[in-house]
């Protein structure tokens, strides 16, 4: 049975994550994980005319690097599953226009990273694709413009605010043997506990992350300590303690093996408020740092849960609360491809 319980896919075939590519902006490259990223820019504009083009450049770079590592051409890829945070997911659409890979656009806000990876693995497992690339991007300035104020506006942000990561990540999924396996994925349901403050998305998203982690452990019938690392996407300094608390209430203890990508990507002294957020936050940390740790053998089994605040400025102005979702993917070390 490929379906475990209600919402978890257990892949029957051996599905591998063959290679990944990451590209980041200046603040991310100066952060503690800076050396793990493939391509870095010292300028937020990424040598482009405007912010949107800069974000597109990042996504194109991530896919390019991913293809180069595997010595493949865009023609060798069956499908591109990509998304970003902008209206009509423009960064993904225009990147797909450029490389000509048959394309499915996906949107799950910041959870798009694992949503696209899970769907990619599903397509390969079902025999509907030989090779899939899952890619996401986000850019601090495009996200500010999309969701908040102009970048140079002098409004004061509270300490609960998060800072959108500038970057992009792409991963190649196929049945060709490599050192990292994708073994299962849990699709989250949309959770909304009434948080209306777009400057506190950690509090809004933590219940979704807790829900997906609890569902995953139950349906796979495993304990939390089965995983060397249970990582969340961008809960930040506010949401990370909340998800631990919510899971503890259900008898699940992740205090020893949980880390949040939003807290890993920046140094505490960088001006990022509660921590990093955005599709690229979970993507570049997973595809850059976590994959490397798995390859080195420092981690064997990782549950990566990308969290997304399905935020719309219009809906928030209409006094609606922020719906959130989280999707989890399990990455395992495959020694010699086993």
Partner 1 sequence: MATKEEQQAYAEKIKPIQPKPPYFINCLKAFLIGGLICLIGEAVQKFYMTYFNFSAETAGNPTVATLILVAALLTGLGVYDKIGQFAGAGSVVPVTGFANAVTSAALEHKSEGLVLGVATNLFKLAGAVIVFGAVSAYIFGMIRYLFQHLM
Q: Which residues would be at the binding site for partner 1 (CB under 8 A)?
A: 49-52, 145, 149-160, 191-195, 200, 203, 206-207, 237-238, 241-242, 245, 271, 274, 321
Report the nearest approach of partner 1 to the CB of residue 273 (Å): 9
Is residue 23 within 8 A of residue 170, CB to CB? The reply is no
Q: Which of 278, 309, 310, 270 is nearest to 143 (CA)?
A: 278
What CA–CA distance (Å, rounded) separates 204 from 324?
Answer: 7
Report the nearest approach of partner 1 to the CB of residue 240 (Å): 9
Q: Which is nearer to partner 1, 134 or 309 (CB)?
A: 309
What CA–CA distance (Å, rounded) separates 281 from 236?
Answer: 11
Report the nearest approach of partner 1 to the CB of residue 205 (Å): 12
Q: Which is nearer to partner 1, 28 or 211 (CB)?
A: 211
Report the nearest approach of partner 1 to the CB of residue 88 (Å): 15
Q: Which is nearer to partner 1, 194 or 336 (CB)?
A: 194
Q: Which is nearer to partner 1, 74 or 241 (CB)?
A: 241
Report the nearest approach of partner 1 to the CB of residue 158 (Å): 6
Report the nearest approach of partner 1 to the CB of residue 149 (Å): 7
For every residue of 144-166, which 3-state class applies, written as one string?
HHHHCCCCCCCCCCCCCCCEECC
Is residue 302 within 8 A of residue 105, CB to CB? The reply is no
Helix (H) or strand (E) holding 132: strand 131-138
Q: Which is nearer to partner 1, 59 or 274 (CB)?
A: 274
Q: Which is nearer to partner 1, 2 or 50 (CB)?
A: 50
Report the nearest approach of partner 1 to the CB of residue 49 (Å): 7
The values of phi and psi at residue 246, to 5°, are -65, -40
Is residue 57 within 8 A of residue 47, CB to CB? The reply is yes
Q: Which is nearer to partner 1, 138 or 203 (CB)?
A: 203
H helix intervals, the chain: 26-29, 51-70, 90-99, 112-125, 140-147, 201-220, 236-249, 261-264, 279-284, 291-296, 313-317
Report the nearest approach of partner 1 to the CB of residue 27 (Å): 14
Q: Which is nearer to partner 1, 71 or 153 (CB)?
A: 153
Report the nearest approach of partner 1 to the CB of residue 191 (Å): 8
Alpha-carbon Rg of the chain, whole angstroms?
A: 18
Is residue 180 within 8 A of residue 338, CB to CB? The reply is no
Burial of 287 (0-12, 13-18, 19+ CB in 10 A): buried
Q: Which is nearer to partner 1, 317 or 338 (CB)?
A: 317
Is residue 228 within 8 A of residue 257, CB to CB? The reply is yes
Q: Which of 67, 329, 39, 65 is nearest to 166 (CA)?
A: 39
Q: Which of 128, 109, 165, 182 is nearest to 328 (CA)?
A: 182
């Amino acid at each position: 049975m490929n379906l475990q319980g209600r919402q978890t896919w257990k892949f029957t075939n051996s599905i591998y994550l063959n290679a990944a590519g990451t590209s980041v902006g200046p603040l991310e490259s100066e952060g503690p994980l800076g050396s793990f990223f493939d391509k870095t820019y010292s300028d937020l504009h990424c040598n482009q005319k405007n912010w949107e083009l800069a974000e597109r450049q990042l996504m194109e770079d991530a896919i390019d690097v991913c293809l180069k590592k595997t010595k493949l051409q865009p023609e060798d890829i069956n499908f591109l599953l990509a998304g970003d945070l902008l209206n009509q997911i423009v960064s993904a659409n225009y990147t797909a226009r450029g490389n000509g890979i048959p394309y499915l656009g996906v949107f799950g806000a910041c959870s798009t990273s694992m949503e696209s990876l899970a769907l990619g693995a599903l397509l390969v497992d079902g025999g509907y694709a030989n090779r899939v690339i899952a890619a996401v991007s986000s850019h601090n300035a495009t996200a500010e413009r999309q969701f908040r104020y102009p970048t140079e506006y002098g409004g004061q942000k509270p300490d609960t605010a998060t800072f959108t990561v500038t970057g992009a990540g792409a991963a190649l999924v196929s049945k060709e043997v490599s050192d990292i396996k994708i073994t299962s994925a849990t699709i989250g349901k949309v959770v909304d506990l009434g948080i209306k403050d777009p400057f506190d998305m950690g509090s809004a998203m933590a219940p979704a992350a807790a829900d997906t982690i609890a569902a995953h452990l139950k349906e796979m019938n495993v304990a939390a300590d089965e995983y060397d690392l249970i990582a969340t996407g961008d809960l930040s300094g506010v949401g990370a303690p909340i998800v631990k608390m919510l899971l503890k209430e259900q008898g699940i203890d992740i205090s020893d093996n949980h880390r949040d990508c939003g807290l890993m990507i920046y140094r505490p002294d960088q001006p990022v408020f509660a921590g990093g957020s955005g599709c690229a936050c979970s993507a570049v940390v997973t595809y850059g740092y976590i994959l490397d740790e798995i390859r080195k053998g420092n981690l064997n089994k990782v549950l990566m849960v990308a969290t997304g605040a399905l935020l719309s400025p219009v809906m928030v102005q209409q006094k609606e609360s922020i719906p959130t979702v989280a999707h989890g993917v399990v990455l395992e070390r495959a020694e010699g491809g086993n």
